[in-house]
Every structure is written in structure tokens, then in C-alpha cells.
Amino acid sequence: SSELTQDPAVSVALGQTVRITCQGDSLRSYYASWYQKKPGQAPVLVISDRNNRPSGIPYRISGSSSRNTASLTISGAQAEDEADYYCSSRDSSGYQWVFGGGTKVTVL
Amino acid sequence: EVQLLESGGGLVQPGGSLRLSCAASGFNFRDYAMSWVRQAPGKGLEWVSSISGSDEVTYYADSVKGRFTISRDNSKNTLSLQMNSLRVEDTAEYYCVKEFEYLDTLDYWGQGTLVTVSS
């Protein structure tokens, strides 16, 4: 298997932009997906395939990827964006999934 | 609308067994691989196991290999996870998750079922 590394926590002022990153060798072969997790709720897919946004996910959430790093950007952060964000991808075998440790986003 | 509804969680003693189920609806179940992902209290997400759609090939995390068995019944749109030799460290919320292989992602998650392993 392989590992994905995320910063544990970031904060952003209301209405400002924040970018969180995810690094790992598997990202050289597979795109990352990003999941939003709020306490007591199931994870929600917010970005897949580098920058594919599922229906209902606001345009202010976007993704990008370069080499072994994937990024999630929240432009104009809102109070409802406060959550834990996890990146994930296939591992090097292509059959298993690996998750980052999660980034707690606090909106000030 | 895709729905995934887990059941079967509860309190079990170390060394005990538990069987989780997930009832799926809103999509052609047999066409999609499915996974179980868990989150221990205060910890991050951890992939547990996956099963392919029609040929039912299975995969397991090293932490559960030999103790957990994933299975599916495509005639009943049901995913299962048989958990044996449970350990305290298996305590977690367990999520049933649909895979979308075209985009290599986990696109729908159930609400989860809590498994507590404690004496």
C-alpha cells in the first residue's frame, strides 16, 4: 500500500480562500478524490478525477493536481465549509484505497 | 436516488463476531464494486475491504485480512461484512460505500453503523 499526507489543520477567514494539499506516490498514477466530513454525518464526495464536482457541490470548491500532489481550494469560504476534508486515491496496486489523515478546516 | 442503509452494528466483546449489512437502492447494484470504510473515534477514514460487481473479487486491508469477509448478494442488492475475532481497535463507525470506477472514486456513502468492541 501507499500513504497520503495532509496537513492536520488550517484556518481561513470568512470569505477568503484556502488551499489544502495531499501528497503521495500513488498520486503520480491516480487522481485524488476529496471528501467532506462533518461530525455525525457521512462523508460526502466533493471532488473526483482531479476537478470533477458532483451535482450539488458549490463552484467555490475546486481541485487540481500536479505530480505527486493534489490540492483542494475553497474560494470565498463559508461557515458551512467548516469540516474535515480527506483525500483518497487507489493505492499502488490499483485495487485498494488509501486515505490521507484528514485536514480540519476552521472558518473564522 | 442512491441510498445505502447499513445495519448490524452494536456492542461486542473482544474475540466476538458481528455481521454488518448494507441495503442498496437507486442504482444497478450488480454493476458496481462496493467497499467498507471505517472511522475510529477521533481518527481518520480507513479503507477496510472491497468487492467487485459481478465476479465478486475481494480485497482486504492488512489490518482485517483473515478476520473479516466481505460478500454481496446481487439478487437482493445487499452488501455484507462478516467480522470475526474482533479487537478493541476495530471499534469504529463502518460505512458502506459505492465505487464509481470510471472516475476512480467512492461516490456514495451510507450513514454508517457503529461497532464497539469492549469487555
Give dist(CA A51, CA A70) in Å, integer.
10
Q: How far is CA A4 from the centre of its chain?
A: 11
Chain B residues closer than 8 Å to A41 by CB: 111
Residue of A nearest to B114 (CA): A40
Count of Cβ atoms closer than 10 Å to residue B17 Cβ = 11
Q: Radius of gyration (Cα) for chain B, nearest Å?
A: 13
Contacts of B107 in chain A (CB under 8 A): 45, 48, 54
The kind and range of the H/E element at B37 are strand B34-39
Separation in Å, CA of A13 to nearest CA in chain B: 25
The Cα B108–Cα A59 span in angstroms is 20
CA–CA distance, B6 with B22 (Å, rounded to integer): 4
Scanning chain A, the segments in alpha helix (DSSP H) are none
- Min distance B107 CA to chain A CA atoms (Å): 6
User: Nearest 5°: phi and psi at A79?
Assistant: -55, -35
C-alpha cell at position A92: 499502488
Sign (positive or negative) of CA dihedral B115, A84, A46, A96: negative
Q: How does pLDDT run across B10-58, given as a tens digit for each residue?
A: 999 999 999 999 999 999 999 999 999 999 999 999 999 999 998 789 9
B84-116 pLDDT per residue, tens: 999 999 999 999 999 998 888 999 999 999 999
Band (pLDDT 50/70/90 cuts) for residue A2 is low
Within 8 A of B59 by CB-CB distance, chain A residues are 95-96
DSSP A6: E
Residue of chain B whose Cα is closest to the Cα of A32: B105
